[in-house]
Structure 1
Amino acid sequence: MDTVKLKTTGYSGTPLAKKLGIKPGFRLKLINPPEYYMDLFQNDLPADLYFDGVSAHDMVHFFTKDKKELFDLLPLLRTAITPAGAIWVSWPKKASKVPTDITEDLIRNYAIEQGLIDVKVCAVDEVWSGLKLVIPVKDRNNG
């Protein structure tokens, strides 16, 4: 795996890496990120991040506009994170006018069916919102 040092966003004044909870040494997986995703980080990412390795991930950031894609991938992503890991699902905000059939409630309700709970929501940028999903503490040993 390659160690990558990158850059953060000033959309809300809070650095994106802090919003997302990215920590040094994290193993990250990105799915469908917007082309400019890394530009949202402005010298804010911790050192020694690993991307798209084969081991369990500390964080997955999954961008989607499509309900079917969400329903197909979320169960697989649950098994791709460490027991204490997180899945950020990002979808286009209504105000962005990007066509989508996804809402925050849809993500939350489907996540519950998959044994995940939401613990945080944030604005990724002007287009994307994000919902942080985790395995409940009581279920983490059963992964």
Structure 2
Amino acid sequence: MRAALAASPSDAPVVPRSSSGYSGTPLWTKLGAKPERTLLVVGAPASFEAQLATLPEGVVLANRAGAAFDLGLCFCASRRELERRWSKLVPKLASGGALWIAWPKQVSGVATDLNGDEVRAFGLEQGLVDTKVCAIDATWSGLRFQRRRS
């Protein structure tokens, strides 16, 4: 046993290079981005632009909620941003659509007064339901909201 513990492995472990986060699933698959659907991205940090280059072909990208959208990804670093952006985005959320709210992880070093529990409580108070959570990247977590089914 001591000999086994003292011996070091001959090869370093193979770590795959991927932008898919912890699960191995590509971000856009986790979020539900599909061809012929409009993806609205609001408040994204500059570091997120590289992720946008990996969008599936056929996804229509928008950065303003001028019309209805099928899928939204809204980055909010504060409760104030969440409230302000929510009031503008939810009325334009298409029937059957989803709005992801992203907030900084506590370990990210980004100043925030939000966490997952607060984002969930806010969305529920506003009449939507949370249906999924995911890691957006090393800095941001996301929670998906949809309208309640009748």
Note if 1:79 corresponds to 2:87: no
**Higher relative contact order at CA 8 Å, sep ≥6: structure 1 or structure 2?**
1
Q: Percent identity?
A: 33
Give the whole-Å Cα distance in 2 for the aligned partners of 1:136 and 1:9: 32
Give the whole-Å Cα distance in 2 for the aligned partners of 1:121 and 1:48: 21
Q: CA RMSD in A?
A: 1.8
Note if 1:19 corresponds to 2:30: yes
Which of the numbers 117, 120, 123 marks the counterpart of 1:108? 120
SS at match of 2:134: strand
Equivalent residues of 2:77, 2:114 under 8 A apart: yes
TM-score of the pair, normalised by structure 2: 0.79
Q: CA deviation at 1:44?
A: 5.0
What amino acid sits opposite 1:117 in the alignment?
Answer: V
Aligned positions of 1:1-143 closer than 5 A: 9-12=19-22, 13-40=24-51, 43-51=54-62, 52=64, 54-138=66-150
Q: How many residues align?
A: 131
What whole-Å deviation, never above 9, does each CA across 1:91-134 have from its counterpart, x for those lacking one?
A: 00011121100011111111111111100000000000000011
1:27/1:102 CA distance change after superposition, 3 Å: same
Q: Which has the larger radius of gyration?
A: 2
Equivalent residues of 1:22, 1:46 under 8 A apart: no
Q: Where does structure 1 lack aligned partners over 5 or more consecutive residues?
A: 1-7, 139-143
Q: CA deviation at 1:28?
A: 1.8
